[in-house]
Amino acid sequence: MTSHQLEDELAYIKSLAEQGSIGPMRNGISLLSAGIAYACASIAQYLAVRAILPQTGWMSLTIWGVATLAFWAVAATSWLKKSKSHNQSVGLRAKTSVWSAVGIGILALLLCVTIIANVMKEFATISFMIAPVILILYGIGWWVSAKVSGVTWIKWMAIGCFVGAPLITFLAGRAEQLLAYAVCLILFAAVPGAVVMRAERG
C-alpha cells in the first residue's frame, strides 16, 4: 500500500468517525410519543387497578391497545417522512438501528410474557417485571446513542434508566409501580424526545 493510499484510507475512516459523532438523532418524535402514550396508559391502568375505572381485562386491553395504536400511528408517519432521505451518516444509521431493535425487543418481551402467563396461568406476578425490563431496553438504546454521538446528557438518560429499573422493581406487587413507571417514561423518553426534536429542527 502506497503512502497516498494509506492517507486515503485514514481520511475515509476519519470521515466515518466524524459522521458518527456529529450525526443527530432522528427519533425524537417516536420517543416523545412513546413516553406520553405509555405514561398515560400506565396512569389509566393504575386507575383501573384502584377501581376508579372499570377493573376488567377488556379495560386493560383497551388502555394499552389505544396507547400502542397512538404511538405506532405517530412513529409510522415519522418513519415514512424520513425514509425518503437516503443521505444518512453511519452514526445516524447506527442510532436508528438500535432504537428499532429496542422497539422490536419490547414487542418480543410482551409476547414472551403473554405466552408464559398463559402457560403458567399466572399473569400478576410476572407483569411486575415488564416495566423494569422495558426501562433496561431504553437504557441500552440511550447508551449506544451516547457512545455513537459523544453527547454527555444522552449517557445520563441511559444511567437514569439503569438506576430506575431496579428502583421501581421494589414496588413489585403494588399499583404504585405503574405511577413510578409513568414518571420514568416522562423523564427518560418524553422529555429527551422533545429535546431531540428541537435539535432536529435546529
Residue 70 to residue 184: CA distance in whole angstroms = 19
Q: What are the extents of the domains in the chain? A: 26-81+90-201
Single out the residue of 174, 146, 133 nearest to residue 45, CA to CA: 174
Per-residue pLDDT of the chain (202 residues; tens, 9 = 90+): 566 665 655 554 445 444 544 444 567 888 999 999 999 999 999 999 999 999 888 999 999 999 999 998 887 787 766 655 555 555 566 667 788 889 899 989 989 988 988 888 888 888 899 999 999 999 999 998 888 878 889 999 999 999 999 999 999 999 999 999 999 999 999 999 998 888 766 5
Residue 200 to residue 84: CA distance in whole angstroms = 16
State the CB neighbour count (10 A cutoff) for residue 107: 10
Phi, psi values for residue 99, rounded to 5°: -75, -30
State the CB neighbour count (10 A cutoff) for residue 119: 8
The alpha carbon dihedral of 141, 144, 147, 149 has a sign of negative
C-alpha cell at 32: 416523545
- Does this model's pTM top 0.85? no
Single out the residue of 177, 92, 77, 192 nearest to residue 130, CA to CA: 177
